[in-house]
Structure 1
Amino acid sequence: MTATIHRIDPRPQPSLDPMVSLVAMDMNLVNAVILDRMQSQIPLIPELAGHLIAGGGKRMRPMLTLASAALLGYTGTRHHRLAAAVEFIHTATLLHDDVVDGSDLRRGRRTANNIWGNPATVLVGDFLFSRAFELMVEDGSQKVLKILSQASAVIAEGEVNQLTATRLIELGEERYLDIIGAKTAALFAAACRVSAVVAERPDSEEIALDTYGRNLGIAFQLVDDAIDYVSDAGTMGKDAGDDFREGKVTLPVILAYARGNPEERAFWKDAIEGRRATDADLAHAVALIQSSRGVDDTLARARHYGQRAIDSLGCFANGKAKAAMVEAVEFAIARAY
């Protein structure tokens, strides 16, 4: 009898651990800034902000600021406050997003708006934006202020663009990419780029880090949008099919609609416009996306943008920081598998 040979993939699953390890000491200092600057004489502000900030997120954006600084050999301390500013911008947008979306879950926990209500959540989001701008101004660099303030404006534009595109089945791939490039990728790009500014590196390295962050951000969002149709609340930290029920047109839906027959396209139109939102409708939507390779091709596009992110690091010397940033891209893609 011939023995069955089980081959083991020699490559371990990509992990964020190398980046976490790389920036661990700096991240402790960033967390101290975050804890200090989220305080207020109004008890509700640190209570509500702390609920989300302590909610188990990976803090990938501030880690990218720190990792980019390590890549450049920066030994100062300015990047600590800027990484905290990046996290405050991100947290503020999450608070506002959950209000706009009417979300009940974030990272597997009740959202702030679900606990404290929409008015308090919006106002604490505004407070965190203000704290972010304080930190930017304290840094003293006009260039840093311009990069992060422009990113904040672009994020807001992206959110408004997405809001006006809700329940619009004819959205199209180009506008969808514009939306995720603004609402997600802009902050990834700025988080990386500011480290080149504080390290006083040439424009070419600024642009390389901006390109890395931007492409990683697009890949990250593409994966999120794909796994919304193949995952569950335990994995996603939100209910599976939330995008479907909210009428958000993401790339898996765009591809399934474009490739569907007239009956399937009619279903998608009804579903996105809110007339087909039951569990059975969601199951049918998932089946259509799978049969049209909507998830597979969304992930293929994510791999494409991920490779562009990795390629943009070619001008930097090999080492722990570069390896960690490359693996962070691989991790972002591997979340879907």
Structure 2
Amino acid sequence: MGVVIPLEDKNRNTASIKPLVDLTKPDMGRVNQLILEKAGSDVEMIPEVANHLISSGGKRLRPMLTLAAASMFGYEGDGHVKLATSVEFMHTATLLHDDVVDESDLRRGKSTARMIWGNQASVLVGDFLLGQAFKMMVDVGSLDALDVLSTAASIIAEGEVLQLSVAGNMETTEDDYLAVIRAKTAALFSAAAEVGPIIAGASKADRDALRSYGTNLGLAFQLVDDVLDYGGKAQDLGKNVGDDFREGKITLPVVLSYRRGDDNDRAFWRSAIEEGNNDEAALETALALIAKSNALNDTITRAEHYGAIARDALAPLADTPAKAAMLEVIDFCIDRIN
């Protein structure tokens, strides 16, 4: 694929995830050790499959949010390490399952587990990781934290099924699509942020603030991912540019382009998404239609909207290094488009 869509330069200062990484570095060392320990099994294939994805270079943003959110409210203990590890295992399990459902070949620049070990192993190892996550949640002994994370697991599964129900349907509305990503992506961001104040014994208002922050950060994060699939680079994505299109995925740029197109444009999208006519030539046409409709820049605008809501959610809280780092994460997630 030779062409990507140039994105509008909005003259942002490039934000960094480094403050969050530095803030959580000691505890993330403990999380990484626990990940290796809990991914172990006498069944040889389990650690092989799990470590293939765990070691593939993800930023581990979600567990860092759990650690930072706990430190924001002065938590002292080790429960946040177990909850952060649970969050990462939930995320990893979701990726293993997603790659099977989406028939993906590449994840973070490497062959997916399903391409190496097969679909059955990927699903079952994902289930193992979910089981380990729930054991660690129980170990922490917080019913509220367990409730939040277990609810998130259910919502994520609902999101997967909802995505199947809209897959290949070009009549999917923007609201339909937002419901999918609110469940599939934002729910875990939300839970990861909320369990921090829970185990720190913070107030309901504090919990509500971190839940809102996580939800809206997750929405912004996914919308930027949607943009990058049509306007990014493979090395930034950890997958091939245009993979969403090849897999027939409905994402917001596609929804907007379809809605704004003429009869010929909409006929193309129905052929590509609903009938699977999505070869490289079709991808070039898709890129041209998305550019014509200004769908990428408008998707970015929506991501910025949710980023602003996430920022406002933290505004009433006391200024701390954790708060500053979590605010910069918002800009970092959106600045990935630059």
User: TM bucket by the smaller chain?
Assistant: over 0.9
CA drift at 1:276: 2.4
CA drift at 1:274: 2.9
| 1:176 equivalent in alignment to 2:164 | no
1:225-273 Cα deviation digits (max 9, x unpaired): 1110112322211111111111111110111111101111111111111
| 1:262 equivalent in alignment to 2:271 | no
Q: Secondary structure at the match of 2:315?
A: helix
CA drift at 1:319: 2.5
Aligned to 1:185: 186
Structure exhibiting the larger radius of gyration computed from Cα positions: 1
Aligned to 1:3: none
Q: Find runs of 4+ consecutive structure 1 residues off by over 4 angstroms.
A: 9-12
Q: Is the 8 A contact 2:233 2:241 kept in 1?
A: yes
Aligned to 1:125: 126
Equivalent runs, 1:17-56 vs 2, <5 Å:
17-56=18-57
CA drift at 1:163: 1.4
1: CA distance, partners of 2:68 / 2:269: 42
Moved more, 227-236 or 48-57: 227-236
Q: What are structure 2's unaligned runs of at least 5 residues?
A: 1-9
CA drift at 1:12: 4.6
| 1:219 equivalent in alignment to 2:233 | no
The letter for the 2-side match of 1:90 is H
Q: Is the 8 A contact 2:248 2:276 kept in 1?
A: no
2: CA distance, partners of 1:214 / 1:197: 16
The letter for the 2-side match of 1:231 is G
| 1:311 equivalent in alignment to 2:324 | no
The letter for the 2-side match of 1:54 is S
2: CA distance, partners of 1:132 / 1:101: 24
2: CA distance, partners of 1:18 / 1:12: 15
Aligned to 2:6: none
2: CA distance, partners of 1:11 / 1:284: 30
The letter for the 1-side match of 2:317 is F
Aligned to 1:158: 159
Aligned to 2:323: 322
CA drift at 1:291: 1.1
Q: Is the 8 A contact 1:81 1:135 kept in 2?
A: yes
Distance verdict in 2 for CA 1:140–1:319, change over 3 Å: closer
1:49-105 Cα deviation digits (max 9, x unpaired): 001001000000000001111211212211000000000000001000001111110
Equivalent runs, 1:26-175 vs 2, <5 Å:
26-175=27-176
Aligned to 2:7: none
The letter for the 2-side match of 1:272 is I
Distance verdict in 2 for CA 1:332–1:262, change over 3 Å: same
Distance verdict in 2 for CA 1:84–1:275, change over 3 Å: closer
- Kindly tell me the number of residue pairs found equivalent between the two proteins: 329
Q: What are structure 1's unaligned runs of at least 5 residues?
A: 1-8
Aligned to 1:286: 287
Q: Secondary structure at the match of 1:183?
A: helix
Q: Secondary structure at the match of 2:41?
A: coil
Aligned to 2:336: 335
Q: Secondary structure at the match of 2:231?
A: coil
The letter for the 2-side match of 1:119 is Q
CA drift at 1:10: 10
Q: Is the 8 A contact 1:147 1:194 kept in 2?
A: yes
1: CA distance, partners of 2:124 / 2:153: 17
CA drift at 1:11: 7.3
Aligned to 1:5: none
2: CA distance, partners of 1:20 / 1:11: 21
Q: Is the 8 A contact 1:245 1:274 kept in 2?
A: no
Aligned to 1:233: 234
Aligned to 1:6: none
2: CA distance, partners of 1:118 / 1:295: 33
Q: Is the 8 A contact 2:248 2:278 kept in 1?
A: no
CA RMSD of aligned residues (A): 1.3
CA drift at 1:141: 1.4
2: CA distance, partners of 1:331 / 1:166: 30
The letter for the 1-side match of 2:229 is D
CA drift at 1:275: 4.2
